[in-house]
Structure 1
Amino acid sequence: MMLVDVSVWEVKREGENIIIGFDGASGGGKTTLVNKLAEILEREGYNVGVVQEVVRGVFEEFQKRYGFNNLTELRASSRIAEFQKLCLWEQYLQEELMMDEHDIVLSDRTLFGNEFFTLLYCNKDSKALNEYFSKLDELLRVRKLTHGKIYDAVVIVHPLPPEIDVDDGFRSTDLPYREVQTFTIRQLAKAYVDRIIELETADLWERVNLVKPLIDYLVVETLI
């Protein structure tokens, strides 16, 4: 895969749209929150785009190509660095396409979540990590150049409590590990994004009521 060429993107004027990334622990309720916020914003008349979590689609491609039975098997294989780079590219591409078409973009997972999983699963492969971070740096520079930002804000969603079943057969459900995910992704995001909001509550409507005012503020600041 080649790094994105700046010339292939229509350079949008800074301030034309809003992109908010949602990240944190696997199975933390990000998708439910993103979909509910999108529903509310659409009812209010906004042109909203949602970037669905890309890992499933990329895994399906690897499953067809290489015959992996599950994500655990893939992560233990020599293909994991290739997988993570493709997830990075797909995340970036989907966000760019959505920003070309929508005023408000809500992204289920961020570039920083992908960065965390790459550090976790490719930590013994220094060559793969160097290649990955060279690509990530290029994409971040292109995003900053074309949009004047990486994300307008990142929402860090803390793990749901253990009594809530989050086992979908695809992600880790180990609670201490999920706390490490949340902390590390937050630190990675803080290196690039000024607005970070953390959601420690598990209640969906409390989460909505914490994030919606941020979106309203960004609308006034950015779109009006």
Structure 2
Amino acid sequence: MLTPRHQALLATLAGMTVGVAVFGTVLAVNSATGDDSAQTVVTSPTPTPSPSVGDGLRPDALQFVAETFGSERSPVTAEVPAGWKSTQSGTRPRYVDPTGVWQVRFDARGSKQTPTALLSARQGSIDEPDYKVLSTENATLVYTYTDKARGPRMGLSRWISAGDSGRSAMEITVGGRPQDEAGLRAVLEHATETLQLPAGGDDRPS
């Protein structure tokens, strides 16, 4: 038989047991619902910035590699920007950057006409919206126009003479956007300076 003192002690122990069980239940519920005192910090990844339409082709970002084209009997070599892939070969190769925005094209078929005559003919044959000639110096036609799919565009076409014959040996054309002018000129000048025509036809502009 329990004394009143023993009964009081048992009641106290029972109360403590119930309290611990309830506290454990509350902890379990809070853990399941995420309701605890620790704060979780969520960090969103920073998106990679996309180039804006105002970005242009920078001359200092260009690296060049030598490419050979033309025919087996009359091979031609010139340097083009590294990474630009050839979409057609032979005497009229074209090299395009991976984005498709910029390109450089060569025409090694030659012509009996002078560079000046060919420039004049090209100048009058371009039929594009907003076509405007910017300059015709150094046998180079510089012009802008609007492409229906790609928007404002710029082209630079240069004709190179073959020796003292007066005829044209090569045409080099670069294309891009108006904001790419500095880079396009760098591509054109580098291609001109590194151009190696077949023996007897190398007369690069000075």
TM-score normalised by the chain length of structure 1: 0.26
Larger Rg: 2
Higher helix share: 1
Higher strand share: 2
